[in-house]
Amino acid sequence: MGLTEDDRPVLLDPTIRTSAEESELLYAAGPVVRVELPGGVPAWAVTHDAPAREVMRDSRFVKDINRWGAWKRGEIPADWPLIGLVDLGPSLVSTDGPEHRRLRRPVAREFTPQRVEALRGRVEEITRELLDRTERAADGSGGVVDLKDTFAFPLPITVVGELFGMPTDWHRPLRELYDSFFDDKAAPETVLATLQGLYGYIAQLVRLKRDEPGADLTSALLSELGDEPSEEAVEELIATIQVMITAGHETSVHLIVNAVRSLLGDPAQLELVHTGRYSWDDVVEESLRLDSPTLNFLFRFATEDIDIAGTLVREGEGVVISYGGMGRDRGQHGADADRFDISRRPRHTSFGHGPHSCPGSALARLETTIALRELFARFPGLRLADPDGPPERSPSVIINGQRTLPVRLG
């Protein structure tokens, strides 16, 4: 599919190396690297901070899948495991220019720092309830509990679920669907069933709110469409809500897990927070830099031949933004960029840059800061259940996560 043996692309495969090893490999390979995605799909990865920022604000790189040469030539199957991250339908992450601004505007308005700050009390309440549940789970399991399952996942899905008016009994089946959605090794029939399942839940949510509007974001977005919205407008809304629910919880899940693991693996860093020298905000920013919850972001497509840091990307080729590589950029973060250091207070790009920067970044920061503060205040003796065991990486080249986080509460 366009690559020769001489090109020697970096194979992105969560089964052959850790996310940290992959990030180091991509960064060391240079600012623009040929990669091979699961399924043998070729692409370019931009791995250094400055050229990645350039790509993210360059209007010649677009999100429209129909500008992807391999897609137009029929080389990408409809059941490719990562297709749900590229063929999104008309949403704020798959459009550009005026169309993107139109779709993004109502969502961004709901996620301003002021509106997110108003959620603080409710996020704290949910956090404490989940810590109670976590303690009960540990009491019933000999003291060891999977913190991802009892705390890191339910916190953001509960928050975003309440924002959009989602029934609480959807949380568990949605988690199973998202685990499948971010599984690069999913069988073709599973890929299609997962995409249909996720669409079905969001379409049902929109129908529920059309029939019985409430004080939630889904109802607010629906009201902007008028009394008789077109089918096209409803499809745009479904795609946008699906993107927001996905990004609105998945990022925070892995950010919480990665930050907890880094702190438990380096007690001296945790002590810097306990003594007041640095804050939980500093922990969150350093975690975002070194262990960005999004490892690689698909796709931007070149609309013409474009030079990036001395490498020619041809029209129609796909470009991946490697947040993992960018976080280890020595020119941006220093010679010890591979080390977790909350005193660094980094200028990072883990929530994107330019028109497509993440509108929910303030919420992710709020949730994670509260989660870490309350968790370590409640369980000061928290420790890894198996400190010498390597984490089992999530089966995704997109998500920087681990399957579980077994801990002892004290």
**Residues recognised as catalytic:** 247, 250, 252, 358, 367
Spell out the residues 6+ positions from residue 172 whose beta carbon is closer than 8 angstroms to its own.
none
Residue 171, token pair as written in the block: 């949380």
CA–CA separation, 301 and 337 (whole Å): 29
Instruction: For the chain, give percent helix, strand, coil, nearest 5.
Output: 55, 10, 35
Give Dmax (Cα) for the chain: 60
Spell out the residues 6+ positions from residue 111 whose beta carbon is closer than 8 angstroms to its own.
359, 360, 362, 363
CA–CA separation, 380 and 277 (whole Å): 18
Strand partners, 383: 408
Across 345-354, b (16+ Cβ under 10 Å) vs e yields ebebbbbbbe
Residue 52, token pair as written in the block: 């990645």
DSSP string covering 137-161: HHHTTTTEEEHIIIIITHHHHHHHH
At 28, the amino acid letter reads: A
DSSP string covering 308-368: ETTEEEPTT-EEEEEHHHHHT-HHHH-TTTTS--TTS-----TT--GGGS-TTHHHHHHHH
At 126, the amino acid letter reads: I
CA–CA separation, 151 and 374 (whole Å): 11
CA–CA separation, 274 and 160 (whole Å): 30
DSSP string covering 106-117: HHHHHT-HHHHH
